[in-house]
Amino acid sequence: IDHANLGTLAEVDRTFKSKVQAMGQRSWHAISLTEVCRDKSESINWRSSNIGFIEITALSVYVSFTNRNLMSLNLSGNQIGPVGCATLGKALLTNNSLEVLDLSSCDLTGSPFRPSYEGLMSLVKGIESNRSVLLHLNLANNALLPTGVRLMCTSVAFHPTLTSLNISNNQAGLFREKQGYLGIANLLRYSSRLISLDMADNPLQRNARPAFVAALAANQTLTTLNAANCALVNTAWPHEVTQQKFRRILVCRQNHDQK
């Protein structure tokens, strides 16, 4: 481990060096993080690397530093859970450089039978920070359930920079709850920045269709919408929607559902 580079950042946060060292001298994550510090890397890819609490804690301290070079963070496939999600969310409150964040398949709410939304609430606050410059956010495959989908969609609906969101396969319509699809519909209605939305594999009830018809008619920015396996086939889209660029993509996805 390069202690010199850690020492420089330790002047900003006195706990950072000890938290990196806690991962172990030969830890791949410790070596990776010190190399990021040394090289001022723009990206960290810890995809499917068995991150534990010690690793996410050290990483979150680095993420919390302002005016760093970090632009992309990929933690996909790591079961960081609600605690790790909360830790990262707090770090995002002060981050002012991250543009791409991949938290797909990260078990953000814990067990779908007894979900915990405390971590997600912390993540929401971090994303809502005035410092946030996020462009792309991937939260696919996290069993957010209707409550989590609503929380996240409400959070990013008025985000000043976010252009791409993936909330696919999150059981947004579970138990026929309305809040999941209404959250997505309100996101489409009110977001003035979102260009791409992947909401695939979230089966919704039939009465969700009018909300999406109205939301898409009001939307002025979306160009790509993946609504595969959302039970929105044969929806009577109004003329305003058919004129949108994403209409061709939406129909293609829906036709694929019917095969």
- Sheet bearing 196-198, strands edge to edge: 43-45, 72-74, 100-102, 136-138, 164-166, 196-198, 224-226
Q: Give the pLDDT score at 249.
A: 52
Res. 232 pLDDT band, cuts 50 70 90? confident
Q: Give yes or no for residue 188 having a pLDDT over 50.
A: yes
CB-CB contact of 101 with 108 (8 Å): no
Q: What are phi and psi for residue 88, nearest 5 degrees?
A: -70, -40
pTM of the model: 0.89
Q: Give the pLDDT score at 240.
A: 55
Q: Give the pLDDT score at 195.
A: 94
Classify residue 221 by burial, with Cβ atoms within 10 Å: 0-12, 13-18, 19+. Answer: middle
CB-CB contact of 63 with 92 (8 Å): yes
Q: Give the pLDDT score at 254.
A: 53
- 1-143: CATH class: alpha beta
Integer-rounded Cα Rg, in Å, for the chain is: 20
Q: Give yes or no for residue 251 having a pLDDT over 80.
A: no
d(CA 37, CA 60): 13
Q: Which of 214, 207, 200 is nearest to 249 (CA)?
A: 200
Classify residue 167 by burial, with Cβ atoms within 10 Å: 0-12, 13-18, 19+. Answer: buried
Q: Give yes or no for residue 125 having a pLDDT over 90.
A: yes
DSSP string, the chain: --HHHHHHHHTT-TTHHHHHHTT-TT-HHHHHHHHHHHHT-SEEE-TTS---HHHHHHHHHHHH-SS----EEE-TT---HHHHHHHHHHHHTT-----EEE-TTS-TTS-TTS---HHHHHHHHHHTSTT----EEE--SS--HHHHHHHHHHHHTT-SS--EEE--SS-TTGGG-HHHHHHHHHHHHH-SS--EEE--S----GGGHHHHHHHHHH-SS--EEE-TTSS-TT----HHHHTSTTHHHHHHHHHHHH-
Res. 205 pLDDT band, cuts 50 70 90? confident
| Residue-wise pLDDT tens digits, 192-202 | 999 999 999 99
